[in-house]
C-alpha cells in the first residue's frame, strides 16, 4: 500500500509538469526497473497496451525515455535530473517570453483584490515568494513551528539587506533560530513568547514592503488570504507594530501591568474577547499559569539591551 501511494504521488507530480497520466505511469515504472518492453510496462503500470505505445512516443518527444534494443523493443528512462532540469529551463524561458509578450495586452492591476490560498503547500510557497521578492522589509507574527519553515528565505533576505522583524510565539531559545545578522530583529510575543489565547501553531501574518500582506485563518491553517490592497496591508502592518509596542512595554513594566490588568492582560481582554476565546484564555492560564517574561528581575540596562536591541549580531 505504501509503495502504491508513493507511485500515485509521483505520477501526480509529473502530471503537474505536463506529463499525461499514462506518460507519468510509464516513466515512473521504467525508473523502478529497466529496460522494459511495452508489454512489461503495460502489466507493471496497469496501462492498456495500445496506450503504452502512445505514452512512449510522448516520452520520447520529451526526451524522457530512449529505446535500447529491437525485436523486442525495450526502453530505459533518461536520468530524472536531466529531464526535470531541461523542463525547468524551458519553463523559465517560456515564462520569460510570455511575460514580455503579454505585458501590454491590457490592464491587470489587482491590488484591491484579496486572493484566497488553500493548502499548506500553496501558503508556504506564497510566503517564500513574498520574502524572496522583498526590497525593504518583511514583518512577521508567527509561531516558531510555522516560521521555521521559511528560515532559508529569511536568511537570504537578511543577507541582501532586507530588514526582518519577527513577533515570535515561542521560547527565548526559539529566537536563536533567527540569527540572521544585524538586519534581523526578534520580539517574543507579549514579552514572553506565550500565546495569550491558545491560537494554533500554524497562525502567521506576513507583510512586505508596506505593499503586501498575508494571513492564515487561525481556525483553519489550510486557508489563507493574500492581498496588496492598501487599507488591508496597512491594517496588518499596524497590528504587527502594536504587537512590538506591547512586547516592549510588557518587558519593561510587566510587574506594574500585571498588578493593574491581571496575568496575560485578562482584565482588559475579558471585555473584548469573544466568549470562546476568553474561555480558552482562562483555561490556558489555569493549565500553564501566568506568562513569565524572559528578562525577569534583571537590571534595566540588561532589559533595554534585550528588548530594544533584540538583534543578533
Residue 304, pLDDT above cutoff 60? no
Straight-line distance from the first to the last Cα atom of the chain, in angstroms, rounded to the nearest whole number? 50
Q: How many CA atoms lie within 13 A of 5 on its CB side?
A: 2
Q: How confident is the model at residue 293 (pLDDT cuts 50, 70, 90)?
A: low
Cα 74 from Cα 66, distance rounded (Å): 9
Segment 209-218, tens digit of pLDDT? 999 999 998 7
Does the pLDDT at position 244 exceed 60? Answer: yes
Average pLDDT of span 188-202: 68
Q: Which residue has the cell 526497473?
A: 33
Domains in the chain and their CATH numbers?
Answer: 2-81 (1.10.10.10), 115-312 (3.30.870.10)
Per-residue pLDDT, 193 = 78
Answer yes or no: is pLDDT of 297 > 50: no
Which has the minimum average pLDDT: 103-117, 147-161, 171-185, 297-311? 297-311
Q: When comparing pLDDT for 305 and 138, which is higher?
A: 138
The pTM of the full predicted model, rounded to 2 decimals, is 0.66
Percent of the chain with pLDDT over 70: 88
Compute the chain's Rg from CA coordinates: 26
Residue 166 to residue 177: CA distance in whole angstroms: 12
pLDDT at 110: 63
Q: How far apart are CA 245 and CA 240, in angstroms?
A: 9
Give start and end residues of each alpha helix (H) in 103-217.
120-133, 144-147, 151-159, 172-175
Q: Is 163 exposed, middle or buried (0-12, 13-18, 19+ CB in 10 A)?
A: middle
Q: What is the pLDDT of residue 25?
A: 96
Q: Which of 242, 201, 194 is nearest to 219 (CA)?
A: 201
CA triplet 305, 306, 309: central angle to 5 degrees?
Answer: 65
Provide, rounded to the nearest whole percent, the portion of the chain with pLDDT above 90.
Answer: 59
Average of per-residue pLDDT across 166-189:
90
Confidence of residue 276 (pLDDT cuts 50, 70, 90): confident
pLDDT above 60 (res 66)? yes
User: How many Å apart are CA 15 and CA 24, to the nearest integer?
Assistant: 7
Angle at 244 between CA 167 and CA 175, to 5 degrees: 35
Mean pLDDT of 263-268: 87
Q: Which ranges of the chain does DSSP label H, i.e. alpha helix?
A: 2-16, 21-32, 38-45, 49-61, 80-102, 120-133, 144-147, 151-159, 172-175, 230-261, 266-269, 275-288, 300-307
pLDDT of residue 251: 82
Of 215, 225, 224, 218, nearest in space to 196 by CA: 218
Q: In this predicted model, which residue has the larger pLDDT, 245 or 312?
A: 245
Tens digits of residue pLDDT in 115-171 = 999 998 999 999 999 999 999 999 999 999 899 999 999 999 999 999 999 999 988
- Mean of per-residue pLDDT scores for the chain: 86
* The dihedral formed by the CA atoms of 32, 33, 37 and 43, expressed in degrees to the nearest 10: -50
Q: 242: exposed, middle or buried (C-beta count within 10 Å: 0-12, 13-18, 19+)? A: exposed
Amino acid at each position: 500500500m505504501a509503495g502504491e501511494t508513493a507511485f500515485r504521488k509521483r505520477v501526480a507530480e509529473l502530471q503537474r509538469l505536463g506529463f499525461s497520466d499514462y506518460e507519468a505511469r510509464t516513466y515512473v515504472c521504467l525508473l523502478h526497473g529497466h529496460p522494459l518492453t511495452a508489454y512489461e510496462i503495460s502489466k507493471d503500470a496497469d496501462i492498456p497496451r495500445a496506450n503504452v505505445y502512445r505514452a512512449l512516443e510522448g516520452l520520447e518527444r520529451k526526451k524522457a525515455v530512449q529505446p535500447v534494443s529491437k525485436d523486442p523493443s525495450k526502453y530505459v528512462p533518461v536520468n530524472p535530473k536531466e529531464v526535470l532540469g531541461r523542463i525547468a529551463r524551458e519553463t523559465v524561458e517560456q515564462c520569460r517570453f510570455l511575460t514580455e509578450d503579454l505585458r501590454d495586452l491590457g490592464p491587470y492591476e489587482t491590488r484591491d483584490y484579496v486572493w484566497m490560498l488553500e493548502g499548506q503547500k500553496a501558503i508556504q510557497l506564497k510566503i517564500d515568494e513574498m520574502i524572496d521578492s522583498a526590497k525593504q522589509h518583511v514583518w512577521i507574527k508567527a509561531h516558531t513551528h510555522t516560521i521555521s519553515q521559511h528560515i532559508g528565505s529569511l536568511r537570504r533576505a537578511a543577507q541582501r539587506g532586507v530588514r526582518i522583524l519577527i513577533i515570535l510565539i515561542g521560547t527565548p531559545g526559539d529566537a536563536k533560530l533567527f540569527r540572521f545578522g544585524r538586519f534581523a530583529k526578534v520580539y517574543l510575543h507579549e514579552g514572553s513568547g506565550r500565546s495569550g489565547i491558545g491560537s494554533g501553531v500554524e497562525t502567521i501574518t506576513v507583510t512586505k514592503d508596506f505593499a503586501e500582506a498575508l494571513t492564515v485563518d487561525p481556525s483553519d491553517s489550510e486557508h489563507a488570504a493574500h492581498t496588496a490592497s492598501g487599507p488591508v496591508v496597512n491594517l496588518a502592518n499596524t497590528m504587527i507594530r502594536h504587537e512590538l509596542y506591547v512586547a516592549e512595554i510588557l518587558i519593561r513594566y510587566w510587574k506594574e501591568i500585571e498588578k493593574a490588568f491581571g496575568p496575560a492582560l485578562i482584565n482588559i481582554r475579558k471585555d473584548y474577547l469573544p466568549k470562546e476565546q476568553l474561555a480558552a484564555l482562562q483555561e490556558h492560564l489555569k493549565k500553564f499559569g501566568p506568562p513569565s517574561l524572559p528578562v525577569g528581575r534583571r537590571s534595566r540596562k540588561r532589559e533595554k539591551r534585550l528588548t530594544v536591541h533584540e538583534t543578533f549580531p
